């Protein structure tokens, strides 16, 4: 199924913060319909986009003939359901991470995608931050030498009432900080090192009064014994993003994501034959985040060419299996 990017018509399900970001990053596609559980939010988004109509129900939106691509930006408990319905109606789908609460929820969607002939991209926008785009180029060129391990931290401090939001409700979210921000770290680590068949994890609740974790600790190993040590937290009182990739002849360090996380920055440390202080190159990206636009641009090209997206349902399922393993180990450790 091939279509010109300029003609792709988009419908957005979920008009909260992420849905609004998606509406401003359509990369030449056109927003024709939107829907939200709060009709006022849908009406507001529609009023900001000429030719866009706010509709009453998501089931109506995914069946509309003037929608070619559906963006699903809802709480986790409805991501898979809406994605499946959109595919059965012959629509391409960009579904926000994690695409479902469990890998088992995602599994039927892979057959739906194959049968429909449409494309599904999972929204792991962090892959498209400027620092990561350059980091992938450096690593894939072999400039770090063989990769050894990844060390990463990602956290925020929540906000008043955070433990009463939908993310704190396991039935809606599927879990806490690991399934929210932690899956980004797992996905990025997989991009550098590959799959992690060996998972050690612990996901406790230290501070917030909720039945999901506020911290997640992961020690992951590939079949080649490369390691990823990852920590996601919503008790990080000063917002933090830090991602380090270690090779035998160099290191990459990505920090900040813009805004409250600080200026996005990439440092490349190149080891010298005599060791000692490395040669260092630093890039800073103080401009606005364009990851959402770049991700959509690539998806529109996937659709035009009829190719499989680089970040699909299999990637989301792989990240979720890591998270689920950590949850199971935590239950066992806590005698639950």
Binned average pLDDT, 10 residues per bin, the chain of 336 residues:
67 98 97 98 97 98 98 98 98 98 97 97 98 98 98 97 95 98 98 98 98 98 98 97 98 97 98 94 97 98 96 98 98 91
* Predicted pLDDT of residue 6: 53
Q: Is 310 exposed, middle or buried (0-12, 13-18, 19+ CB in 10 A)?
A: middle
Q: Checking DSSP bridges between strand 147-155 and strand 227-233, what pairing results, if any?
A: parallel
* Predicted pLDDT of residue 270: 97
Beta bridge partners of 152: 230, 243
Structure tokens at 244: 């380090």
* Number of other CB atoms surrounding residue 247 within 10 Å: 21
Beta bridge partners of 285: 264
* Predicted pLDDT of residue 65: 97
* Predicted pLDDT of residue 5: 43
Nearest residue to 124 (alpha-carbon basis) of 152, 103, 100, 96: 96
Asked if residue 98 has a cis previous peptide bond (ω within 30° of 0), the answer is yes
Helix (H, G, I), strand (E, B) or coil at 268: strand
* Predicted pLDDT of residue 336: 77
Rounded Cα distance between 264 and 274, Å, is: 31
Nearest residue to 96 (alpha-carbon basis) of 15, 177, 154, 165: 15
DSSP H/E element including 275: none
Q: Checking DSSP bridges between strand 279-285 and strand 69-72, what pairing results, if any?
A: unpaired
């Amino acid at each position: 199924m091939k279509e010109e990017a300029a003609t792709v018509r988009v419908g957005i399900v979920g008009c909260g913060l992420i849905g609004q970001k998606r509406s401003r990053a359509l990369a030449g596609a056109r927003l024709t319909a939107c829907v939200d559980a709060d009709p006022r939010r849908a009406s507001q988004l529609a009023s900001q986009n000429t030719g866009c109509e706010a509709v009453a129900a998501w089931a109506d939106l995914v069946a509309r003939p003037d929608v070619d691509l559906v963006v699903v930006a809802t709480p986790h408990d409805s991501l898979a359901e809406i994605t499946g319905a959109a595919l059965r109606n012959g629509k391409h789908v960009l579904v926000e991470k994690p695409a479902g609460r469990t890998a088992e929820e995602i599994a039927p969607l892979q057959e739906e995608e194959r049968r429909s002939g449409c494309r599904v991209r999972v929204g792991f926008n962090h892959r498209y931050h400027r620092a990561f785009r350059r980091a992938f180029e450096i690593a894939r060129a072999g400039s770090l030498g063989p990769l050894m391990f990844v060390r990463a931290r990602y956290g925020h401090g929540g906000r008043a009432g955070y433990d009463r939001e939908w993310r704190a409700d396991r039935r809606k979210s599927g879990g806490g900080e690991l399934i929210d921000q932690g899956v980004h770290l797992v996905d990025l680590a997989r991009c550098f090192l590959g799959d992690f068949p060996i998972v050690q994890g612990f996901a406790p609740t230290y501070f917030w009064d909720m039945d999901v974790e506020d911290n997640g600790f992961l020690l992951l190993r590939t079949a080649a014994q490369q390691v990823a040590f990852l920590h996601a937290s919503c008790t990080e009182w000063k917002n933090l993003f830090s991602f380090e990739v270690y090779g035998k002849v160099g290191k990459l360090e990505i920090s900040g994501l813009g805004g409250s996380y600080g200026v996005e920055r990439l440092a490349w440390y190149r080891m010298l034959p005599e060791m000692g202080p490395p040669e260092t190159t630093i890039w800073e990206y103080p401009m606005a985040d364009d990851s959402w636009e770049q991700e959509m641009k690539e998806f529109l090209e996937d659709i035009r060419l009829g190719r499989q997206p680089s970040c699909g349902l299999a990637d989301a399922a792989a990240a979720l299996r890591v998270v689920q393993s950590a949850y199971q180990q935590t239950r066992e450790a806590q005698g639950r």
